[in-house]
A = this chain, B = another copy of it.
């Protein structure tokens, strides 16, 4: 007979989460690397570009927080992106202690090009979600996982994906199955998302 044991349950649960999250993250990593390969970027660099774009400028510590990377990783790869002309470092008027970064015009172009070349048929994660979409009529909502990440990382972290959603709806339209930057979209943005 199986003895009920809180500690056994805890060990098995953490092991199950470890296997599942490693499996999904490794598949995500592979898809992501394929996507950005033509642009000679690594995942951290593209993540920095993505966050800086969607936050309309970000501090290095915000990049570290929302990109789930060490602050030194965020700083070092931001510097590399600056050297390549994608990112501009500046001090914020209201907060002299923090270093802020924003995308240059070339950086914004890179961001848009990557969205425009996104190909859902090359995303194994998207393909793996299709049977669930077929079954339930919508993409997996992953509510339990959302709840756990909310507990671990807090409210702001959860909102970043929602900002991306709103932004991408404003910025892009679907043309012949691909995303294209809207003709009337003005990329000049000065207002930061986070106060």
On A, residues with C-beta under 8 Å from B are 2-3, 5-28, 31-32, 68, 115, 118, 120, 123-129, 131-132, 139-142, 144-149, 151-153, 157, 160-161, 164-165, 168-169, 172-174, 177-179
Contacts and interface: CB of A to CB of B under 8 A. Distances in A.
A161 B140 CA distance: 22
Given A20-B149, A68-B22, A129-B148, A174 B11 contact: no
Q: Is the interface of A mostly helix, strand, loop or mixed?
A: helix
Nearest to A170: B2
Contact of A152 (B118, B124, B132, B169): B124
A8 B179 contact: yes
Contact of A21 (B8, B24, B161): B24
Contacts of A10: 118, 120, 123, 126
A26 B12 CA distance: 18
Contacts of A179: 5, 7-8, 11
> Of A18, A147, A168, which is in contact with the most chain B CB atoms at under 10 Å from its CB?
A18
A125 B14 CA distance: 7
Nearest to A1: B169
A147 B19 CA distance: 13
A126 to B, nearest CB: 5
A168 B14 CA distance: 13
B147 A132 contact: yes
Given A10-B126, A19-B161, A24-B149, 6 more contacts: A15-B164, A17-B24, A17-B28, A18-B28, A21-B21, A142-B142
